[in-house]
Structure 1
Amino acid sequence: MPEKLKSPTSLMNNQRGNSFECATLLVSLLLGQGYNAFVVSGYASREQVYCDLTKRPCPYLPKPAEHVPLPPIGDTSRYKLKSPPDLRSQFLLELEEREQKKIQDHLRCQEEERQRMISELERPLPDEYWGFRIHAWVVILPERGGARDQEVLEPFFIEPSTGESYSPTVHETNLLYLGIESIWNDCNYWVNMQQCTEGCAKINWNLKKVELWEHLLPGEPWTLRDIEENEADEDINIQQDKHLDMPVSYVERIDVHSLDFERRFPNGRKCMFYKKTKVELYAPYVQMDGLIQRVTLYDDYEYMNPISIFEKFSQRADYLIESKKELDTDLVVDSYKRGRPDACKEHRYFANGNNAVDQERTLEFYDNVRLDGLSRIEMQLSFLEQTYIGRDDLLYCWRVDYSTESKNFSAYDIHYREVMKITEWYHRDESIPASKNIAIKEFAAKDNEIRLQYHYEKDHGTAATRTFIKPSMADRGDRLIFNPEMTQAYNEEERSLAHVREAELEIWTFLKTRAAEYLLPKLQVSVFDRNRNQEAKAGMFAREEMLRAQGQREVNDEIDYLGPYLARIGNPTHLTKAQAMNIKQECLSDLKQLYVDRANHILQLFEKCNQKLERRHSWFTKTEGLTREEEERFFMEAEEMNFMLHALNVRLSRYRTLAPDRYEMILQTIEKDPRLAVLYQ
């Protein structure tokens, strides 16, 4: 038990303290946020006191994707084939089943033995001070009528050193927290009078019962008292008990700067070791590459043989958010969020490659962002395949096969591979007959053939096909008969060959861009980041200054009431007495008419709203059998219309009150105008 505690502000500055100091700081922050939090003084296990996480599973490991099995498709056909008779020997089947059962039992025993050995290996060593190690943590209790009444429904613990929460009723929690001596917060100090022989699972957290929790200060907080309903209705002044005359707190107000809140850890980084896992956490902008989390999975308990690495990134200009590396196979999977110019979603490749175009890799894209609907690119040394979604031409798969023969090439030549065959797959177009709707196009460059396969007709077992054989160079000439369909096929083949080079160029461009992004990673700064975005801050101040100056000019500028009327007669330098009198009368007449029109407009709105409300009331009284939803809708509409009537009434009354004063003010302004001075000479 510590003899003294540092203040929360001192702990914030030093970022170092024992469990009691950390729990006190955390409770202070939670109380400020409306939680019913308490510091718990009790006993914990050796691993919990020393913050030893090496025997616990890592909570930072990515969860495996859940594969929902598809429902079985029932056979709805009217006629079914009968199953063939089973001519196998039942005796041999029973012998085989017994043999399989023996094998399964043997494998199960081996697995149970392996799990037992793992449990023995992971079991912590005996602790001679078990049950006597003092520790402090935080408990949050439900509070009826409190600020977090709907959020906190049952008690739970929080470990200040890790921030993890535990339920007291779980068996694993009782292995970590062994007993409770007392709890306290800013209201009182409660001593636990209950037995903790079975951990904290059966503790009653009702602080109102003195036989369970003995409070140190006399009385108890008024919020914990039960007030009868008849007493609550009376005008009774319940004041909080004043237990002691305490001096003013010497602790400064806890103020967490936005940079400190963002930094999260001492020096912006933290390293933790779980079972066969090492976790490194970083605050944003601490690492040059935007790394915020790295989880390394090991094959042993000594953290010597890493097998995989999971990394998460933040604020990357290239929108990289996650990277997974399998060290045994060198497989790397980079994931990107939406926003890249190439709309890349995932890049799967091998780290031991030379970053060439022909290396094995897979690219996935956000197909709803790309104009061509490209969803996936799979590159191998022998082929390149592209998958599309939602194209207007119904193309959904495109593949090119390359020659596997070795060929000398330059490192700067990305089109060195010889194209052997190009294949295109299309969906069914219901607007044309299936016998004329092409399903597969195959351009066999090596065989000098163009093969077409059409979609299957309904109830047909075969599909129509056509093959165009390209003549050799010797056969081309006057003897070759011109065929327009052949010309169209040749043009499509040329376009497909051009598409091959475009696909290779796109991959090469992506690899070049990615290499630059990895070599010199750039981080983005949000426009809402007031600590780093100096440009946005300067722009915000400039806009505020511009708006302030504009408002000041609008206040200083006087309204020229006579300007439109003088413009009608050509803005003369001097006015005659008759002209001045006409301008004054026209201006005042228009002003009066404007006030009358505005008042009439408000009155018309009032009458329309009143008539609508009367019609709704009449409909409600005449209609019977309304549902609850219709009644609620009627009352809501009636409330809105009553509010509108009240607002229009207030607006009309205020307008009638202010209109004479405004008219008098404008009249005085017009009479003082020097351009009408001829009227008063």
Structure 2
Amino acid sequence: DFDWSPMDMSQLPPSYKTNSPKEKKMLQLADNFLKQYTYLYPERMPLFLHPANECGVEKFVSTTVRPTLLPYMELYEWDGCASFVSDYLTMEPLKCPIALPSSLYSPTTILKYQRGNCFDFSVLLCSMLIGAGYDAYCVHGYATREMCSLDETLEPCPLLREPQEVRLVMSGKGGMPRLGNKMAIITSLSVLQEVAKPERDPLRGLRVHAWVLVLSGKRDIPKTFFINPFTGKSHSTTDERFLGIESVWNHRNYWVNKQDCCNGCKDLVFDLGDAVCWEVMLLESNKPLQLLADAKKENRLSCTCIDDMMSDPNDGSCAEEEKVKSMSFDMPLSWVAPIQISPREFETRYPQGRKVILYSKAKLEKWAPNLNGNGPVKRLTVYADLDRTEVVKVREWFENREDMLEMREVNEQTQLTTDYFRPGHPFHLKAHTYASLESESEHTMEFYNEARADDLQKYVENATELIEYFEGRDDFLHIRHTTFGKTGEGIHFAGTRTDIRSQPIVQIKECFHRNLEKPADEDVAERIFLITEEKIHLMYHLKDEYFTASTKDLFKAVLYSRGEAAGTAPKICISYQAGSSEKDEKPLQEYKLLLKLRREEKQLKQQVWQSKAEVSNILKTRKNEEMALQLSDANYDKERDGKRRQQQEAMKNAKEDELPQQEEQGLDYLAPFLIRFGYEGKMTKQLALRIRDECLAAYKQRLIDSFKITQARYEKAGKELQEKEQWFEKNQKQLSTEEEEEFLAYCSEAMLRIRVTESRLTR
């Protein structure tokens, strides 16, 4: 157990050590209220009214709530506040699970030592929620053993989807399970219920717990709900784990529940203004005093308790003025010092920077950003058994990594790793699935296709095939499927290393979306380059109301046997025209189509090898990123670095000093136009319009010149790459491995420049 005895009281404010006259009067009101409550409900448990604080001074619970809005965007929402409190504090169980605590420390002390019981958690969370504008209340009640002890070992991890251990096999229109599966379903359900059922609790219904109630209305909350401060999770007010409520309070008032809790909190009405369901301690000064008469008519407890609050219960006489005065007494202001959380504390978040939560078949670990060398902030380990011995998969979330890695999932059964990246990676990676970062293994890469000039969305490669998926291309291409032969039978292609080109390309298949600007029987849907068979197969899109598509098979062997000049060679093409047997193309057209496709086939081969070279470069880069990992600075690191702050302030002051001089010496961009039109200090409307038109024309001409320069650079880069590839084809046999590596790096950089230039031209 944590030892609170060495706490230094000397640094605490005077309000922690003494009570003001108004606070003393509030304590008297609370004592009289408790006497009436005990007299009318002798069988009920004591109320939690004025426990001692860390200085041993009794303080009314409402004055321990200090509404605070902290300067962090995350803490403006209820879920951010709840998550922070559950992460920042360490849970301490109550000394006696069925008795109220004897003390309630201030939220500032709880934040300082980062630990507390359920009441400490609730008061801190309620203070933050009220400060953020929510209608929030602390709740004293009863809950299950698992909720009171923060035992989530029977709960599924919220980061996982709902388990689907039992799947109902549906059949027929009625959607009923087939009879043959009913026994299996019943058996599975019974097994699951047996596993998930907690042990019987002899103290069920007696375990004291505190949580937070958030009423609907403020901050557009549509429905009232509970928050368990230990976990930061929201719960319905009908949740069976909440077994009853004794009282609720905020910084202004205190309410006692008068409703039956035999069904837990399911049937409770949370209208705190209903005197039948709730007994209020103070009538707030901003409420109309005629509520006193209404309250007297509605309920005996309300009348008796309020009338006798400031009088001796044995004295039957009490002046009406005293009754009204006691009713309109305002709650004293909070005695708690302002709640403050530094940026460093907010970033560090967890006690000692780390927190571990055990769930059913899962373990969740959390770290402060930049605490570990590779930047993890969360790790979820999923197990196959309840004892958490057999690992199924591991997920890790990262922050502040310069390689933009956001999440990594390792499947221990398949030995596959999937990396997920935020936008901004040099190769626009979105996800990467692999068994190893070696190029010989299987890889699946997803890209942010909007950032790539070729609109590549997904890349799948294994030992025998390569599949590329595209999205949003102008040529309507969406799939390119390349099949390779056995290793060692390849031909040397420009821009590739020996290990990349070692496999021959057997087939390239491309699939296209429908281009509505073309007739269906002229719009290619699929084309297959059967390289080893010297054949090209074209299949067109289906025409409306047709079940078969037009096709063409073109044979390259005819060109080799009769020469490229033989434009009338027979059987260059075998075609099928859907819906017609008369429309046959002339041999010359077929010959030109074959020559065009043969050129495109050569270009496709080059693109395939360049794609493999790019992926090889990506893998090499990823290896280097993992080996030389760098993390960006966290906010608190920048703040605590005094030298850096001084440098930043000095640079800022220098810029401010230079700014007036720059303004004085700054160029007047209108001066050339004003001189051209003879401006002498006065400007007419016609002159202003002429100058405006001249400025717009000059700006337009500047854009045109910029486009021409970019176009020239694009053409020059393409020409240089083509010349370099031709040079490589001529000298490839004499080149060393190092020279091939240099050429590969040149091709990769050149393609990147071309893509960037092309994207600028298309803007």
Match of 1:371 in 2: 453
User: Are positions 1:362 and 2:437 aligned together?
Assistant: no
Per-residue deviation at 1:505? Answer: 0.4
1:193 and 2:301 are equivalent in the alignment: no
Contact 1:526 1:533 survives alignment (8 Å): no
The answer to whether the 8 A contact 2:251-2:331 is kept is no
Change (3 A) 1:301 1:462: closer
Distance 2:349 2:636 in 1: 19
SS of the residue aligned with 1:222? coil
Corresponding residue SS for 1:113: helix
Give how far 1:43 is off.
1.8
Please give the alpha-carbon distance, in whole angstroms, between the structure 2 residues aligned to 1:114 and 1:465.
Answer: 56
Partner of 2:555: 468
Give yes or no for the alignment of 1:447 onto 2:530: no
Deviations 1:201-251 (A, max 9, x none): 2233344455543445xx4222455779xxxxxxxxx999785997x9664
Do the aligned partners of residues 433 and 369 (structure 1) sit closer, same or farther apart at CA in structure 2, a change above 3 Å counting? same
Change (3 A) 1:239 1:32: farther
Residues 81-118 of structure 1, C-alpha deviation per residue, up to 9 Å, x if partnerless? xxxxxxxxxxxxxxxx99xx999324212211221122
Shift in Å, 1:310 = 2.8
Equivalence map 1:548-627=2 (5 Å): 548-549=656-657
Residue in 1 aligned with 2:612? Answer: 504
- From 7, 10, 20, give the equivalent of 2:119: 20
One-letter amino acid matched to 1:369: A
Name the amino acid aligned to 2:450. Answer: N
Alpha-carbon deviation of 1:51? 0.7
Equivalent residue letter for 1:316: R
TM-score, normalized by length of structure 2?
A: 0.58
- Three-state SS of the structure 2 residue aligned to 1:271 is strand
Q: Is 1:424 matched up with 2:424?
A: no
For residue 57 of structure 1, what is the aligned residue in structure 2?
156
Instruction: Note if contact 1:396-1:427 (Cα within 8 Å) is conserved in structure 2.
Output: yes
Match of 1:414 among 500, 509, 512: 500
Amino acid at match of 1:335: Y
Against the structure 1 CA distance between its residues 543 and 178, is the aligned structure 2 distance closer, same or farther, given a 3 Å change threshold? same
Conserved 8 A contact 1:272-1:279: yes
User: How far off its partner does 1:314 sit?
Assistant: 2.6
User: Within the alignment, does 1:493 sit opposite 2:567 as a pair?
Assistant: no
Deviations 1:385-417 (A, max 9, x none): 212233333333222211146779999722211
> Max radius of gyration: which structure?
1
Change (3 A) 1:64 1:475: farther
Q: Which amino acid is the alignment partner of residue 220 of structure 1?
A: L
Inter-partner Cα distance in structure 2 for 1:494 and 1:45: 72
| Aligned-residue offset at 1:20 | 1.6
One-letter amino acid matched to 1:545: N
Shift of 1:304: 1.1
Question: Which secondary structure state, in structure 1, belongs to the residue aligned with residue 218 of structure 2?
Answer: coil
1:435, 1:499 → 2: CA distance? 27
Corresponding residue pairs, total: 507
Q: What RMSD in Å do the two structures reach over aligned CA positions?
A: 4.4
Change (3 A) 1:490 1:411: closer
Matched, 1:165 2:234: yes
SS where residue 205 of structure 2 aligns? coil
1:234 corresponding residue in structure 2: none
Q: 1:480 to 1:285 in 2, by over 3 A?
A: same
| Residue 112 of structure 1: aligned partner | 186
**Alignment-derived partner of residue 285 in structure 2:** 222
What residue is the counterpart of 1:255 in the other structure? 340
Task: Select between 368-377 and 422-431 the one with higher mean Cα deviation.
Answer: 422-431
Paired residue secondary structure (2:510): strand
Instruction: Tell me the equivalent position of 2:85.
Output: none
**Do the aligned partners of 2:521 and 2:549 also contact (CA within 8 Å) in 1?**
no
Over 3 Å counting, the alpha-carbon distance change for 1:553 and 1:204 in structure 2 is: same
Q: 2:202 is paired with a residue of what secondary structure?
A: coil
Deviations 1:401-455 (Å, cap 9, x if unpaired)? Answer: 1114677999972221122222333445565666665554433332344445555
* Cα separation, partners in 2 of 1:548 and 1:473, compared to 1, 3 Å: closer
> Following TM superposition, by how much is the alpha carbon of 1:492 offset from its aligned partner in structure 2, in angstroms?
2.6
What TM-score results when the alignment is normalised by the length of structure 1? Answer: 0.64
Question: Secondary structure, in 3 states, of the residue corresponding to 2:449?
Answer: coil
Look up the equivalent residue of 1:28 and give its one-letter code. S
Structure 1 residue runs of 5 or longer lacking an equivalent are 66-96, 143-147, 229-237, 558-589, 599-681
SS state at 1:368 partner? helix
Match for residue 518 of structure 1? 626
Equivalent residue letter for 1:221: E
1:155 aligns with 2:224: yes
Question: Per the alignment, do residues 274 and 227 of structure 1 end up closer, same or farther by CA in structure 2, a change over 3 Å counting?
Answer: farther
The 8 Å contact of residues 427 and 439 in structure 1, kept in 2 or not, is answered as yes
CA shift, 1:53, in A, is: 0.9
Post-superposition shift, 1:302? 0.8
In structure 1, distance between residues paired with 2:331 and 2:482? 87
DSSP-derived class of the 1:414 partner: helix
- Is 1:213 the equivalent of 2:278? yes
Q: Alpha-carbon deviations, 1:155-194, whole Å to 9, x = none?
A: 32221211112221x2xx23x2212222333333333333
Question: Which residue of 121, 125, 131 corresponds with 2:195?
Answer: 121
1:304-338 CA-to-partner distances (Å, cap 9, x unmatched) read 11212233223332222233333222233322232
Give the partner amino acid of 1:123: K
Of residues 133, 136, 148 in structure 1, which corresponds to 2:207? 133
The one of 89, 96, 101 aligned to 1:2: 101
Task: Work out the CA distance in 1 between the residues paired with 2:138 and 2:523.
Answer: 75
Structure 2 residue runs without a partner (length 5+): 1-99, 165-170, 292-323, 570-590, 665-679, 686-763
Relative to structure 1, the CA distance from residue 541 to residue 64 in structure 2 (aligned partners, 3 Å threshold; closer, same or farther) is: farther
Question: What does the per-residue CA deviation read over 1:27-83, in whole Å, with 9 as the maximum and x for residues that have no partner?
Answer: 222233333332222222111111111112221215799xxxxxxxxxxxxxxxxxx
Deviation at 1:464, TM superposition (A): 4.2
Q: Deviations over 1:346-367 (max 9, x none)?
A: 2223x3xx43334222222222
Offset at residue 15 of structure 1 (A): 0.5
SS in 2 for 1:413: helix
Equivalent-residue separation in structure 1 for 2:108 and 2:471 (angstroms):
58
